[in-house]
Amino acid sequence: MKTKKELAKSYAEMRFWVLPLEHLGKKPITPNGYKDATRGQEKIEHYWDIQPDSNIGISCEPSGIIGIDCDYDEKKGYDGLKTLLEIEENINSPLPKTVIVDTPRGGCHFYFKVPENFTPKGKLANSIDLKFNGYLVAPGSSISLNGNIKEYRFKDNIGFGDIEIPELPEEWIRLLSKSNEIQKQQNNNKKNYPKKYISIEDFRFCNFTNHCIDNAENLTYHEWWGASSLLSMYANGRELFHEISKPYTNYNVAETDRLFNSSEKFGKPMTCAFISSISEACNSCKIGEKGCN
């Protein structure tokens, strides 16, 4: 088994910028924090000779990567991985296979390359942080959790040397960016869909929405996602989403709100083309040929 110093040196050889963290902790022990990250072998020797048991941090921006940090906290209702999968479905853009690190509290870190001059948001959702102007705790590090020592590990034993870290897809770059141009586009999307009030009957404008109202007790999760996406465009959409959801066998107020919040945050409804891919109710619908959104 490699020592912490050997691990840090090997990560630097893979072009990652590394820094020492507290023993069994996550805070940097250098004066300038993650800004003291280095790829220099001599400096790494110096850092870990002073404190051989230091954990390892990987500074993201100089390494050209972004970390999608999915938290898990049962008490807070956080399940970042589940939320990430839902976002993939919502924007119809699956993330490519990459290195994933399982964290001690049940979460995970996804590693992706990003282009130059990329400025991401700090968070994607309550349960998902974006690590760029900062660092990730690297595999091989350990923390003390409830009196037990828990380690950061490569998921499925697939490490940095096993597969090349892929570039973040263009759709995700747009989603994660906080550039003015992206913000303008999001604002324009909201302007295109004015918030008006509707009734349940008004919502019966296509085969899919009729299907959601009439078959609520048997809808799939993806169909609920589609319904929340469409209803989030209306002033009383949340109220109607709850009303439609109540016959569902597993109806839950908090979960229904969470799903609606995600759709509302996305800022625009799903397209006919995407909804038709998740629901058989659209098979005989002709509205989608012209576009019902």
CB 100 within 8 A of CB 110: yes
Both tokens of 60, joined, read: 């993201």
Q: What is the pTM of this model?
A: 0.63
Q: What is the pLDDT of residue 148?
A: 95
- Which comes out higher in pLDDT, residue 116 or 291? 116
pLDDT of the residue at 186: 46
Predicted pLDDT at 15: 93
Strand, helix or coil at 133? coil
Residues 170, 237: Cα–Cα separation, whole Å: 30
Residue reference for tokens 């989608």 = 288
Mean of the per-residue pLDDT values for the chain? 88
219 has a pLDDT exceeding 80: yes
Fold of 4-174: Prim-pol fold (3.30.2250)
The predicted model gives 61-89 an average pLDDT of 93
Question: C-alpha distances in angstroms, 13 versus 38, 133, 135, 242?
Answer: 11, 21, 17, 54
Please tell me the predicted confidence (pLDDT) of residue 161: 92
| Mean pLDDT, residues 151-157 | 97
Residue 293 is classified by DSSP as -
Number of other residues whose CB lies within 10 A of the CB of residue 291: 9
Report the pLDDT value the prediction gives residue 76, as an integer from 0 to 100: 83
Q: Which of 293, 291, 261, 264 is nearest to 126 (CA)?
A: 261
Percent of the chain with pLDDT over 90: 59
Q: Tokens 């625009």: give the residue.
A: 268
- CA–CA separation, 131 and 105 (whole Å): 17
Show me where the domains of the chain are located: 4-174, 207-289
**Region 127-151 average pLDDT:** 95
- Name the helix (H) or strand (E) containing 81: helix 80-91
Q: At what angle do helices 253-266 and 221-231 cross, to 10 degrees?
A: 60
Specify the pLDDT at position 280: 86
Displacement of CA 147 from its chain's centroid (Å): 30
List, for residues 158-209, the tens digit of each pLDDT value. 999 999 999 999 999 989 987 644 444 444 544 444 578 889 899 998 999 9
Residue that has been written with the tokens 């090349």 in this structure: 164
CA distances from 65 to 4, 167, 231, 250 (A): 22, 9, 36, 39
Highest mean pLDDT among 34-48, 174-188, 231-245, 264-278: 34-48
Q: Which two tokens stand for residue 19?
A: 């820094």
pLDDT band at 261 (very low <50, low <70, confident <90, very high): confident
Q: Identify the residue whose tokens are 């869909």.
A: 193
pLDDT value of position 212: 93
Residue 6 backbone zone (phi > 0: left; psi -120 to 50: alpha; other: beta): alpha
10-24, 43-57, 211-225, range with the lowest pLDDT: 211-225
Query: How confident is the model over 19-28, as pLDDT tens digits?
Result: 999 999 999 9
Contact yes or no for 107/72 (Cβ under 8 A): yes
Output the CA–CA distances (angstroms, integers) from residue 234 to 164, 223, 231, 268, in the order listed.
44, 18, 6, 11
